[in-house]
């Protein structure tokens, strides 16, 4: 099944807030949540969580990576759940300790308030993003025993970013991959989100596809269950190779001109799509990083001394 709304997914596991930018809640003896969305949705996340857990505390918040749309409301959540421990990778902790990263996260969250109407929402939090403490860092293959029967396996899945973690809830076979598994738009096209490194991204995808998964949460819009979860990961790998081949072909045909390659790929994967969709400047920024990741790989495989890419 492909689920495109918030609410219960299986017993005790919920998508919270808004399907485009959800927080995932695993309820139990010790409720835990995954990711923290946009700042302006903070109060909505809190209200939805409280509807389910009542007066109890959230024990852990697990962040998949330090992108602004995954950590935007940590401080708001922490105000309401002061005992909540925030968990990230060591790399994410380093990034979130840099003043320029904090400035960027704050600015992007503020800029995102303009999409509120597009996603059929009203502003719920007028708070601005503020930095937060990270209580614990985890690494690949750590198993965090949250409570009896609730174990979380940590997988380092770099490629989308350097700091990406995926979380695997062992008993229920739930994988919170975030964009390490790519991102489907509303047409079903899977955007290969290899912003940081193409080969690392593909290898992370391959690793995730070998897990026994019943529920897959790629972080935006959709949750996949049963066969659809397996199908999605397979399709994401195929799409990833297809994207690489497309970029490689365009780089050759456009004489490695980055701007011309961007226009061609944008035409294929963005222009035709009515939306609501990512704002164009954000899409173009990400597209450039994805093209550069493929170009870097071409450089390495060709063993060229000079970059294949022309940047004007
Ligand atoms: Zn991201």
Sequence spans of domains, the chain: 2-238, 240-302
70 CA → ligand 1 middle, Å: 7
Query: Which pLDDT belongs to residue 309?
Result: 66
Q: Find the 215 Cα to ligand 1 centroid distance in Å.
A: 20
Residue 31 near residue 58 (C-beta atoms within 8 A): yes
Q: How far is the CA of 63 from the centre of ligand 1 (A)?
A: 11
CA of 139 to the centre of ligand 1 (A): 19
Measured in angstroms, how far is the CA atom of residue 179 from the centroid of ligand 1? 6
pLDDT in tens, 253-292: 999 999 999 999 999 989 887 766 777 888 899 999 999 9
Domain 2-238 CATH assignment equals 1.10.1040.10: no
- Residue 65 Cα, ligand 1 centroid: separation in angstroms? 7
CA distance 256 to 243: 16
C-alpha of residue 68 to centroid of ligand 1, in Å: 8
**Listed residue (57, 63, 66) closest to 84, CA to CA:** 57
pLDDT at 305: 53
What is the whole-number distance in angstroms between the Cα of residue 163 and the centre of ligand 1?
10
**110 C-alpha vs ligand 1 centroid, how far in Å?**
17
Give distance in angstroms: CA of 184 to centre of ligand 1.
Answer: 13
Q: Ligand 1 centroid to 148 CA: how many Å?
A: 31
| E strand residue ranges, the chain | 2-3, 7-10, 13-16, 23-26, 32-34, 60-62, 85-89, 136-138, 143-147, 150-156, 165-169, 174-176, 183-184, 190-191, 215-217, 223-225
Residue 160 Cα to ligand 1 middle (Å): 7
Quote the distance between the C-alpha of residue 116 and its chain's center. Answer: 19
Q: Which pLDDT belongs to residue 124?
A: 74
Ranges of the chain whose pLDDT falls below 70:
275-276, 303-312
Q: Can you point out the beta strands (E) in 63-109?
A: 85-89
CA of 180 from ligand 1 middle (Å) equals: 8
Residue 55 C-alpha to ligand 1 middle, in angstroms? 31
In this structure, the number of other CB atoms found within 10 A of the CB of residue 206 comes to: 12
For 51, the token pair is 């509807």
């Amino acid at each position: 099944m492909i689920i495109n709304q918030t609410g219960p997914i299986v017993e005790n596991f919920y998508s919270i807030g808004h399907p485009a930018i959800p927080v995932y809640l695993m309820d139990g003896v010790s409720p835990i949540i995954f990711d923290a969305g946009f700042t302006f949705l903070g109060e909505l996340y809190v209200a939805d969580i409280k509807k389910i857990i009542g007066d109890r505390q959230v024990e852990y918040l697990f962040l998949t990576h330090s992108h602004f749309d995954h950590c935007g409301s940590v401080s708001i959540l922490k105000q309401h759940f002061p005992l909540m421990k925030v968990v990230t990778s060591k790399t994410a902790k380093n990034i979130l300790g840099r003043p320029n990263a904090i400035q960027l996260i704050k600015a992007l969250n503020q800029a995102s308030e303009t999409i509120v109407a597009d996603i059929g929402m009203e502003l719920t939090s007028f708070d601005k993003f503020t930095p937060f403490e990270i209580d614990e860092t985890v690494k690949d293959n750590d198993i965090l025993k949250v409570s009896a029967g609730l174990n979380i396996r940590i997988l380092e899945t770099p490629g989308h970013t350097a700091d990406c973690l995926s979380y695997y809830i062992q008993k229920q076979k739930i994988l919170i991959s975030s964009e390490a598994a790519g991102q489907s738009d509303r047409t079903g096209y899977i955007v290969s989100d290899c912003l940081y490194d193409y080969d690392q991204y593909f290898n992370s995808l391959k690793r995730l596809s070998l897990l026994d998964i019943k529920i897959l949460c790629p972080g935006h819009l959709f949750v996949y269950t049963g066969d659809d979860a397996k199908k999605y990961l397979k399709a994401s790998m195929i799409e990833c190779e297809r994207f690489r081949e497309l970029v490689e072909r365009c780089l050759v045909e456009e004489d490695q001109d980055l701007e011309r390659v961007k226009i061609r790929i944008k035409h294929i994967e963005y222009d035709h799509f009515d939306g609501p969709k990512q704002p164009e400047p954000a899409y173009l920024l990400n597209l450039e990083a994805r093209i550069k990741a493929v170009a870097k790989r071409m450089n390495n495989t060709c063993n060229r001394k000079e970059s294949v890419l022309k940047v004007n």
